[in-house]
Structure 1
Amino acid sequence: MAAMIAPPPSSLLAGEIALYAATAALGGVMLMLRRRLRAFGRRVIPAGALTTSGGPPRGAVLGTLTANALDGQARSLASWPMPLLLLFVSDSCPISRKLIPIARTLARAEKLTLVLAGEEDAGRQERFAARIGQPKDAFLNDGELGRILGVDKLPYAFLLDGKDGTLVARGLVNSREHLESLVISGELKVASLQSYLSEPPTRSAA
């Protein structure tokens, strides 16, 4: 006659029930925490380049714009390999001096062509370019270009892409996060991170 299997002790059964209950409670806590983190992420806006009211809109074709470089040649913006990061700087601006090596690091990482621009005295601009190691043919010195693009504060950056030099994103920048936000804006196909985050979420139709 086969031996009968004794039922588990009541203490063991109670322990298993408690374990299942604790696991279910932990799952509920994790779900609630995940929702809270998502809500917090929506409230905390990442640092993005400040888009000013003036200047061309996203999608404007800027490749045909021509400016004089420090080597004496007139260059169109579309003459450089795209994507192009056009950074307006000044030797007299400490933020500009700090941002240039950061922009170079980002340009290498994102495979961007970095071109600097300004409108100071040509002699001073040439000394500035020599000191920071910027090639003369990649340093524009033309005040008219800044006026056309609506640059009124520095440093100011424009990200162009496509064969015709289409404006992807632009804004006032003073950190790597600001520069990165231009690249992210281009990937999201929005004018700026601020405009993207300020838009109400789209709701699917019932």
Structure 2
Amino acid sequence: MNETLIASNLLLWLAVLALLLAVFALSRQIGILYERVAPMGALMMDSGPRVGEAAPLFELPRLGGGLLQLGGASDRSTLLFFLSPTCPVCKKLLPILKSAQKAEGERLAVVLASDGNAPEHEAFRQRAGLAAFPYVLSAELGMRYQVSKLPYAVLVGEDGHVRAKGLVNSREQLESLFAARDLGVASVQDYLARPAFAKEGA
């Protein structure tokens, strides 16, 4: 009887040790997997004003009337969102832009930017319910930021300096601009590439 109890206890302890080893191996694999599928931020092109540099100064006419000043110090950040009425991804992100402005409250101004035919953009602005957003048309603005693909976004801080920028195709990529600003890095990719983060994910 005693031998049976001792044998069963040994088997239980061996099972517990095996489970501990399995949990350790799984936690290590989860860390590696997390590193591989880490959130992808906005795709930052190495062109135009760099993160940390002063944003170009512009005074542009707005659709619907009035002038809009871009660049320079302000009481809130500015999200400059480059779009086109014929860009399906741009249209998909419009509700996300609206919720982002609500979430950021008084700290953020969203400005829509494009170029081309004013009547076409005005019709698009009305159709998409974008009257609350300043909307400017300027080929020079896109050239200064060297926007080659859409949708593209630039986050300018209250101090008038570029805080984050990149090609944004999803909610996650758009929100990564705010994450990069809050972390004080050029992009989420830069943050994930830091040695400290790499050690945590290993």
TM-score by length of 1: 0.80
Candidates 28, 48, 64, aligned match of 2:41: 48
CA distance in 1, matches of 2:124, 2:171: 21
Query: 2:44 is aligned with what amino acid?
Result: T
Q: For residue 59 of structure 2, what is the aligned residue in structure 1?
A: 66
Deviations 1:88-125 (A, max 9, x none): 11112222222212222233334443221111222222
SS of structure 2 residue aligned to 1:91: coil
Counterpart position of 1:18: 11
Map Cα deviations across residues 26-76 of structure 1 (whole Å, 9 max, x no partner).
112111111122122223343321111211111123284433211332222
Counterpart selection for 1:193 from 188, 194, 198:
188
Structural RMSD (CA): 2.7
Match in the other structure for 1:144: 140
What is the one-letter code of the residue matched to 2:127?
A: R
Of residues 120, 125, 143 in structure 2, which corresponds to 1:124? 120
Once the two structures are superposed, residues 117-175 of structure 1 have per-residue CA deviations (whole angstroms, 9 ceiling, x without a partner) of 1112222221111111112761122222222222122111011222x232211001121
SS of the equivalent of 1:85 reads strand
Worse overlay, 104-113 or 128-137: 104-113
Is residue 69–residue 142 contact of structure 1 (8 Å, CA) maintained in 2?
A: no
Q: Aligned pair in 2 of structure 1 residues 148, 136: CA closer, same or farther (>3 Å)?
A: farther
Q: How many equivalent pairs are there?
A: 196
2:100 corresponds, among 81, 86, 106, to 106
**Whole-Å Cα distance in 2 between the matches of residues 185 and 176 of structure 1?**
14
CA distance in structure 2 between the aligned counterparts of 1:174 and 1:66, rounded to whole angstroms: 28
Q: Which runs of 5+ in 2 are unaligned?
A: none
2:167 to 154, 169, 172: 172
Fraction of identical pairs, as percent: 37
User: Aligned residue for 1:4?
Assistant: none
Partner of 1:96: 90
1:188 maps to amino acid:
L
Aligned partner of 1:182 in structure 2 is: 177
Instruction: Confirm whether residue 153 of structure 1 aligns to residue 146 of structure 2.
Output: no
Whole-angstrom CA distance in 1 between matches of 2:166 and 2:198: 30
